[in-house]
Structure 1
């Protein structure tokens, strides 16, 4: 057991290796039961009478540790001393990682686990007392301190190389480990055979630069990160969770702005004109132009033009010129109306519409009229829509507009000021949602890449 409840690190002691007589430094001499000779790799056991016996031969380490044995650093408010270095792998697989055993004179042992350049600080209930209340129920998730941890992997850990000192027979022990992730945290359950209950440990993803600074180590010595760590935090997730709560607020603000604008400047009709028009026999596909009655705008406004014509398997094109009667400033728009229908293969079909909308924005205050220049296709069309309730203009003869009159068409033009433009609302909402959607996509893609290394990926069904 680690020597704890002290005010400082205990004095280090040197012991001689029973095999090669090399001096071995113990940084927690009272708490260490096992150690490894750096010179001959003997795994040494200290018996009850402090006799050093060679228990077995340890395999040499493959990599030199980044944090040297005996180095001291301040981390999470605790002083830690590196007293051991262990290389492990998953039994029956090629996954390998490294662990640095940390000793604190107040609490006991913790460690840094490093896999593919991803570092995690791992400690037990001595540092996180709430871990002592958890029970292993074999579920695929665990709730701990308001976070839900999801099952990520299960494996048996095997020690392949080590140096330093330990308070348990680490070479003999092969714990069955289960990992649950809730980035940047990870929960470990280690169950050693012949023990009744598993031990819980909490890990937290740690940036290499933080460790290098704490232990005064050159960051260039740290291994390069590969891929995404099991509990590596996602900056995309952080952005998404910061943004998605704002989406309802954005929608509400847009709605308030839209309805507020319609309340301050309500929509009103400035022209409602229906006109029976005659074909210009001197020009193909054209009708005689006409001028609408005048109307007035009291202030700068947007204008919405709705042009209707009961075309039937035909088309109509109208050039509408808005003219300011004071200075002759004009705005010209051209719109086409097409409507076709029929029966093909026993099924009816239709396409097009008998009306069109045009929007002009920021029209100055003033008195206006419209110059209308119609053109159309062949004469075999319906002359009028009986629902329009056409009233001829003063001075214009009441022309018969029954269906089949090949010389007459009816154009109905309705003009409203300050229209509520819902298209602007939806376009604005779509543009404002682009970044949240992009952030969500990046977060989801990041999580899919994380779970590629798991046998319990929630994304497997989508592959």
Structure 2
């Protein structure tokens, strides 16, 4: 279609063929009545934030549309929004409405398809309820393009009904009512469809703007993920076949300057901590053991070392103690496989066992040793007591009492004799071993619980965020379903 402006003789053309009543000359901006071929008035050109042009083509929902007209509407003194009139190749109408960077794609619907309820506060379309948002009076601020109907400059009223990302818009001008069904459309789709380089920036929340996340889809994903985690946890828990995998008392003498290699054991099921418990009868002394867990398939070695120590005494009229005779720790994240232990151990070699009244075979002397290792030699006939620092000092001493002692015991090695006799006569258990027990613990439910709790918290944040989003969306409505702060 070609139209020559009767005012400035500029050619105005459109590739589409539809009945045009009026058009606005692209050159002189006069509103031209096609039938009369005369100018009605000068119309202000749309400029601010107008990103499409008359004649521009774009594809929306797999249909190619052409922009045939643009109207900028005005509410009050400073609120504007833009309406783009579209037609497809069959001359079917569609519309794009943009306000504050938020876009709505609309199509005409029949008025009889819309039912009103609750004093026009609810509009029903295809059994779906739409809540009245607001009624907005507006006027035409600027326009351009081709129009099937006469362009009305009277005050028009828009009444919007909203349900999520969809809306019903009722346009009333005089006694005429037009209804439109609209839904949110992403500005990125508009940008790509029409090849636009710059788009209006977002401001606030659009009337049918969707929440940033699909809460229903997020709930489905989290529910399925939680179910899979639960099933996996159950499988890992019930596939376990081991409990105590190693328990043995290891003599210090057997691992002196060498390692003991344990029998192999197999762990089956999911990874879990391996708890190591050790006990040794330390008494004012210490013991230490070194343990290596060897994976026989990968040769991976996990090394650990632990001290066991216990001390007690009596000082300033009070008893004291510290340490204990046992120790335990975990080797975390042990996976299934075949393993063995390499173990070595040692103890405090300075432990002294007290000895009382060791008599010589001829009863001429008695020997006693206290916990500090001091040796008391008593000459039984005279009752004289002589003290030596230890048994070795007694053996080397040249005094008469030392010679008498060596003669009375038949020149035996006194150090060995005293130690052996102390062990035989002692009622205190002698610490000669360390008992080590390894237990593969049940699969921990702690990490499992943390994941589920995190998922619940995440969903709660999403859900609460959507609520706050909707409260903000409806804050400009006089019919908000949410409580508004005063």
Q: TM-score range by the shorter chain?
A: 0.5 to 0.7
Q: 1:180 aligns with which of 159, 162, 166?
A: 162
Q: 1:227 matched to which residue of 2?
A: 203
Q: 1:114 aligns with which of 98, 101, 109?
A: 98
Q: 1:292 matched to which residue of 2?
A: none
Change (3 A) 1:193 1:68: closer
What is the SS of the residue equivalent to 2:221? helix
> Could you give the per-residue CA deviations for residues 386-420 of structure 1, whole angstroms, max 9, x where no partner exists?
xxxxxxxxxx999xxxxxxxxxxxxxx99853324
**Shift of residue 174, structure 1, vs aligned partner:** 0.6
Change (3 A) 1:31 1:419: same
Gaps of 5+ in 2: 248-261, 279-285, 295-301, 309-326, 348-425, 429-435
Mapping for residues 16-95 of structure 1, pairs under 5 Å: 16=6, 20=7, 22-23=9-10, 25=12, 27=14, 31-38=19-26, 41-45=29-33, 50-52=35-37, 58-63=43-48, 65-90=50-75, 92=76, 94-95=78-79
Check conservation: 2:18, 2:91, Cα contact below 8 A: no
Gaps of 5+ in 1: 1-10, 273-294, 308-317, 336-355, 374-395, 399-412
> 1:365, 1:419 → 2: CA distance?
18
Q: 2:136 matched to which residue of 1?
A: 155
> 1:457, 1:22 → 2: CA distance?
53
**Shift of residue 459, structure 1, vs aligned partner:** 6.8
> 1:426, 1:257 → 2: CA distance?
13
**Shift of residue 205, structure 1, vs aligned partner:** 1.0
Change (3 A) 1:41 1:245: same
Check conservation: 1:319, 1:332, Cα contact below 8 A: no
Check conservation: 2:46, 2:144, Cα contact below 8 A: yes
Check conservation: 1:296, 1:368, Cα contact below 8 A: no
**Shift of residue 462, structure 1, vs aligned partner:** 8.1
Check conservation: 1:103, 1:109, Cα contact below 8 A: yes
Mapping for residues 127-206 of structure 1, pairs under 5 Å: 133-137=113-117, 152-166=133-147, 167-180=149-162, 182-183=164-165, 186-195=166-175, 199-206=179-186
Q: 2:229 matched to which residue of 1?
A: 254
> 1:370, 1:149 → 2: CA distance?
78
Check conservation: 1:267, 1:419, Cα contact below 8 A: no
Change (3 A) 1:271 1:26: closer
**Are positions 1:427 and 2:450 aligned together?**
yes
Give TM-score scaled by structure 1 length: 0.55
**Are positions 1:299 and 2:273 aligned together?**
no
Q: 1:265 matched to which residue of 2?
A: 240
The count of aligned residue pairs is 352
> 1:324, 1:105 → 2: CA distance?
80
**Are positions 1:14 and 2:37 aligned together?**
no
Change (3 A) 1:59 1:249: closer
**Shift of residue 99, structure 1, vs aligned partner:** 1.7
**Shift of residue 160, structure 1, vs aligned partner:** 0.8
> Could you give the per-residue CA deviations for residues 181-213 of structure 1, whole angstroms, max 9, x where no partner exists?
533xx3232241554865133244143564565
Change (3 A) 1:256 1:119: closer
Mapping for residues 266-415 of structure 1, pairs under 5 Å: 266=241, 268=243, 298-300=265-267, 302-304=273-275, 331=304, 359-361=330-332, 362=334, 365=339
**Shift of residue 29, structure 1, vs aligned partner:** 7.9
**Are positions 1:123 and 2:107 aligned together?**
yes
> 1:32, 1:305 → 2: CA distance?
90
Change (3 A) 1:77 1:330: closer
Q: 1:440 aligns with which of 453, 462, 475?
A: 462
Check conservation: 2:97, 2:105, Cα contact below 8 A: yes
**Shift of residue 460, structure 1, vs aligned partner:** 6.2
**Shift of residue 422, structure 1, vs aligned partner:** 1.7
**Shift of residue 86, structure 1, vs aligned partner:** 1.0
Change (3 A) 1:200 1:60: closer
Change (3 A) 1:368 1:418: farther
Give TM-score scaled by structure 2 length: 0.53
Check conservation: 1:228, 1:449, Cα contact below 8 A: no
> 1:146, 1:332 → 2: CA distance?
73
